[in-house]
Amino acid sequence: MRVALFVTCVNDALYPRTGRAVVTLLERLGVEVAFPAAQTCCGQPQYNTGYRRETEPLVRRYDMAFADYDYVVTPSGSCAAMVRDNYPRIGRKAAAEGRGSGLATAAARSVPKTYELTEFLVDVLGVTDVGAYFPHSVTYHPTCHGLRMLGLGDRPRRLLEAVRGLELRELPGAEECCGFGGTFAVKNAAVSSAMGEDKVRAITGTGAAAVCTVDNSCLMHIGGTLSRQGSEVHPLHLAEILASTEEEPWV
């Protein structure tokens, strides 16, 4: 099994601990993980802002960077959804415009091998108990891309429920958007902030010590709101919780 880590821009620039946590976790489960240095952005910011043509070289780049691997694992529901849901659309559009089928072929190679972390753990490795230990109360926010585009369902919850010492607390209105939405937060800052405040109100109401997600982009928005309110709730990516053990606490 040849497995590559697609770390994503946000994690590479702002949350490198998450990438390291993924490697620690997978290696503990017996998976050898590579990190192709040729990887760059998946193109989500460009595509979501309407720059489809400018996204096309990144589709080809992704295909090239991960060509030698059976699986590409990413700790980002939104970036996994970009590859799986939007790459085929970009390829079909390019072919319809008479610019060849190469882009569609690149997309077709990339889609079936790309997995969000919890999908890979549950569906490919067939595990929910990863040997983690995290003696704290946690609430889980299902991010929009993971929930609606990838259909992650209860995979993240099943993984959290198997963590020794962890008390999982229900989040009221869990399926409501946190307000980040990528460029939405830039274009509609006031609405985004209000949605973030609603989400944080629900999070703090659980009394949990930490909130976790499968997307650090959403966690950045939630964490920023928590910080501005002076909250002691700790924002964590799910991978960091799963990488934590009694012998080697990650947090």
Alpha-carbon dihedral of residues 169, 174, 177, 179, nearest 10 degrees? -30
Of 206, 214, 205, the closest CA to residue 239 belongs to: 214
Positive or negative, the CA dihedral 66, 71, 76, 80 is positive
Distance between CA atoms of residues 28 and 9, nearest Å: 25
Name every residue whose Cβ is closer than 8 Å to that of residue 173 and which is 6 or more positions away in sequence: 198, 199, 202
Phi/psi zone of residue 50: left (φ > 0), alpha (ψ -120 to 50 degrees), beta? Answer: left
Average pLDDT over every residue of 202-228: 95
- Say what the pTM is: 0.93
Distance between CA atoms of residues 144 and 138, nearest Å: 19
* Cβ–Cβ under 8 Å, residues 161 and 179: no
For position 247, what pLDDT does the model report?
A: 85
For position 98, what pLDDT does the model report?
A: 87
For position 185, what pLDDT does the model report?
A: 77
235: part of which helix (H) or strand (E)?
A: strand 234-237
Distance between CA atoms of residues 182 and 174, nearest Å: 19
Q: Where are the domains of the chain?
A: 3-124, 137-243
Specify the CATH class of 137-243 in words. Answer: alpha beta
Cβ density class 42-65: b for 16+ within 10 Å, e for less: bbbebbbeeeeeebbebbebbbeb
For position 183, what pLDDT does the model report?
A: 77
For position 59, what pLDDT does the model report?
A: 96
Alpha-carbon distances, residue 237 vs 22, 27, 45, 131, 183 (angstroms): 10, 18, 21, 17, 21
Task: State both tokens at 186.
Answer: 């830039």
Confidence of residue 94 (pLDDT cuts 50, 70, 90): very high
Residue 251 scores a pLDDT above 70: no
